[in-house]
Structure 1
C-alpha cells in the first residue's frame, strides 16, 4: 500500500489529487453538462424498453456509433407516436453521465419522427430570427375588445375547427356577427392565401378581431402557420389577431406573433366573446342595483320634497304670526312667573328681616341684657369673694411666715433691740461712749437708757 506522500515529486511538489469513481463521475458529468447544452440529434431507435414506471430506455445509433438514451415519464406523456425499434427519430436531449455504471448517455427532452427534423430546425431558426426582431415582444400586443361586434375567422371553410368555433360562439354570445374568411390551411398554396387574407381583413376595417385557426396535425400539416410572411402579416395587422393552431401541445410561429394565443379553436371562441349566462346574471345584478338606486333616490327626493314643503309652510305669514303669537304668550307667561317668583322672594326676605328686627328690638333685648347683667354681677361678686378669700389666706400665710422670721417674735422671748440717737441698731458695745443715750425696743414698748461706766448699773429717765 502506498500513502499519498509516496507519489510526491522529488522536488517537493504538492501532492496529486486522488479521485474516487463517484467523484470522478460527478466531475465528468459536470463537464459534459456545462460544455454541451441541449442538442438536436438524429438516429435509429433500437432496444426500446418501456417499464411500468413510464420511462423509455433505448439506444440511438447510426452506421458508425451508438449512444444510450433515456426519456423520463413527464416527457413521454407529450409523445404523439409510439417509439419502436428501427424508427428514425429526431431527439432534443441533454448530454449527461449515468453514474452507477459510468456510462455516457442522453436524456431526451423531446422526440419526433426524423422526417420532421428539417422542419423543426427551420422552425427554431425562424423563431430565433423573428424574436430578435421584436415581433414577439409584449409591448406590441393589442388588447382584445371586451364586446366584439364582428369577428373574422380565417380558416378552412370545411374543417372541424370552424364548426367548433361557430358552435361555441352561438352558444356563448349569439349577438356577435361571425364572418368566415376561407383559406387553405395546408399545402403550398396555404401561406400566401393566409397572408393575403390577413392583409385584406386588416385593411377592410369591418372586424373588431380576427381569429386564425385550424385543427391539429403533424408539424408538416401545421407548417403554413410557421411561414415568415404569415408572421409578418399578423404583426402588421391593425386588428387584434388571435391564433388557435392545432392542439394545446402544438406551438406555431403564428402563436408567438399573435396578440393572443389560444390552446384550441374552441378555447379561442370562448376567449373572444363573453359568456351569455354570466352577462345575463351581471345584467340582472345591474338591474337590481339600478332599481335599488332609483328607489333610494326617489325616497331621498320625497323626503327632501316633504322637508321643503314643511319649510314653505313654515314661512307663510299666517304661520309666522301664529308662531310669534305663541311666542309672545309664552314670554308673557314666563314674565308673570318671574314677577311672582321675585315678589315671593322679596316677601320672604322681608319676613326674615322683620323677624331679625323684632329679635333685636330693645324691648326684647332689655330683659335679656338684664338677665345677662345679673348673671355677670353674680359671677363678678363670686369671683371677688373667691379672690379676696384667696388673697386673705395668702396674706395670713405671709404674715405667719413673716412673723416667724420677724425680730418682734424674738422680742417676745425677752430680747430687746438697741438703737443709737440716730436710730441705728447697735450691734456691738464697742464704740459706745459712757453717758450715751440709747433706746431699747422691747416686745411691749420702748425704753430710753443711758450708758454708764459700770455696765451692771443703769439709770432710767
Structure 2
C-alpha cells in the first residue's frame, strides 16, 4: 500500500482575492474622509478624469476624480496647490494601488473662510442687520439707478443690456470699484459712500459676476456688509451666480441671484407699463361713463320730483304762447280765405260790373272784417281772463300772499322758525318777516295758551 501525500500548508490566497478583500476592508472601514495636502502629479487624460497625488512632508497617496465629479469644480487645480478633498478610501485591485476616489476638491483655506463667513453671519444676525423690518422697499419705477461694480467686468455689461432692453429712459450712474482682491473692500465701501453723496440714484445695485469663494470674498467682509446696511439708498445685492451666497445678500434690502436678475428686478418693462396704462385708461373711461350715467339718471329722477311755482308759471306762459301762435295762424288763414273770397268777388264784379252789387259786396266785406275783429278781440279777452285766473290761483297758494294778508314768519336768533310760545323767553330777540320786509323785536313777556282768542286785538 502506497502512502498518499497530503499538503498540510494553509491555503494561499490569490492576488485577486487578497486585493478584493483589502478593498472591501478599506471601503467598509472608511466610509468618507477629508484629506488635506499638496497636489502633485496632476494629469488630465482625454477621458476627462483627473489623476493626482496628495502629499505632505512624509507621505503621499494616489487620488482619482472621475469626470462626472470634476465637472462641478469651478476652477481646475494646478501643481503645488494646497487642497482639501472629500472622498472614499479604496484599493485599485488591478495594480494593488491604495487610493482615494475624490468627490469634491477645494482650496485648503476654504475651511477657514467658511468659518469666518459663519462667524460674521452670526454676529450681524444677532445685531438685527438681517431683519426684514429694517429693509427698505425697492421703488417700482426708479428715476435713477446706481451701479457699484467693476467697469470692465461682465456684470456691468449684463446690467446695462437688460436696462436698455426693458426701460432705456432710466438714467444709470456707474460707481466703479474693483470687486476682487485685497483693495476691493475699501473701494466698495468708498463707492457706496460716493453714491449716497451724489444723491441722484433711488436704487443701488451692488455686485459682480461669478467666481470662486476667494474671488467673492470682499462681499463677505464686515466693512462692506455694514456699508450696505447703513446705506440710505435701497440696495440690491447681485453677487455671483444663483448658487453663490454672501453676507452682502443678507444685509441688502433685496437679493438678486445674478446681476442680470438685479437689473430685471429694479427696472419696469416699458411694454408692460404701456399695457397697464392702456388698460387703466380704458377702465377709467368706462368708470367715468358709468358714473356720468348714474349721475344723469339721478338728476332726471330728482328733476322729475322737483315742483317749483315758477315751473307752473312757465307752463302757463308756454301754453299762452301756443295759443297766441294758434290765434295768429287762425287769423292768417281767415285773412287768406277772406282775400281769396274778395278776389273772387272782385273778379265777378269786374265781369258783371253792376254798381249795386259792388256796393253790397263792399258792405259785406266790411261786415266780415268787423266780425273778424270782434272774434279776435273776444278770443284774446277769453285768453286774458284764463291767464289772470291761473295767476290768481297760483298767488293763493304762494307764501307771499299769506304774508300779504297780515301774517308774519317769526324766527329766533339762530334762524329757527318759532311755532309755539314756549319756544321763546322774555328778553329773547326775534326777527319777523312780513310781506314787504322784516324787522327785529325783543320779547317782553310770554303767554302760553290760546292768547289769540283771549286778546285778539293785541
Q: TM-score, normalised by structure 2?
A: 0.51
User: Is 1:300 the equivalent of 2:331?
Assistant: no
Does the 8 Å CA contact 1:45/1:89 hold for their aligned counterparts?
Answer: no
Change (3 A) 1:292 1:72: farther
Alpha carbons of structure 1 residues 25 and 155: separation in structure 2 relative to 1, 3 Å = closer
Would you say the 8 A contact 1:181–1:197 is kept in 2? yes
Is residue 65 from structure 1 mapped to residue 60 from structure 2 by the alignment?
yes
**Separation in structure 1 between the aligned mates of residue 188 and residue 254 of structure 2, nearest angstrom:** 18
Structure 2 distance, partners of 1:174, 1:296, is 37
Residue 156 (structure 2) pairs with residue 162 (structure 1): yes
Q: Give 3-state SS (helix, strand or coil) of 1:134's partner.
A: helix
SS in 2 for 1:243: strand
* Pair member with larger Rg: 1
1:235 matched residue in structure 2: 229
Moved more, 203-212 or 229-238: 203-212
Which residue of the other structure, out of 77, 80, 83, is the alignment partner of 1:90? 83
Residue 150 (structure 1) aligned to one of 139, 144, 148:
144
Shift of the 26–317 alpha-carbon distance from structure 1 to 2, 3 Å rule, reads farther
Partner Cα distance (1:271, 1:77) in 2: 31
- Judge conservation of contact 2:121–2:247 (CA < 8 Å) in 1: no
* Cα separation, partners in 2 of 1:122 and 1:284, compared to 1, 3 Å: farther
Cα distance per residue 1:239-286 (max 9 Å; x no partner): 222222344454444334333332332221111111111121112111
**CA RMSD for the aligned pairs?**
4.2
Corresponding residue for residue 134 of structure 1: 124
Q: Contact (CA 8 Å) 2:147, 2:204: kept in 1 or not?
A: yes
- Structure 2: gaps (5+ residues): 1-20, 314-458
Alignment match, 1:79: 73
Is the CA contact 2:23–2:90 (under 8 Å) kept in the aligned structure 1? no
User: How much has 1:42 moved relative to structure 2?
Assistant: 3.8
Instruction: Rate the CA distance shift 1:91–1:258 in 2: closer, same or farther, 3 A.
Output: farther
Cα deviation per residue 1:407-426 (whole Å; 9 max; x = unaligned)?
Answer: xxxxxxxxxxxxxxxxxxxx
2:167 matches 1:177: no
Equivalent residue number for residue 208 of structure 1: 202
Give the Å deviation of 1:133: 0.8
Q: Quick one: distance in 1 between partners of 2:243 and 2:189?
A: 24
Aligned counterparts of 2:190 and 2:42: Cα–Cα separation in 1: 49
Which of the residues 25, 36, 49 maps onto 1:41?
Answer: 36
Distance 1:230 1:248 in 2: 20
Does the aligned pair in 1 maintain the 2:206–2:237 contact within 8 Å? yes
1:197 aligns with 2:191: yes
TM-score (norm 1): 0.50
Given that 1:242 and 1:268 are in contact with CA atoms closer than 8 Å, whether structure 2 keeps it comes out as yes
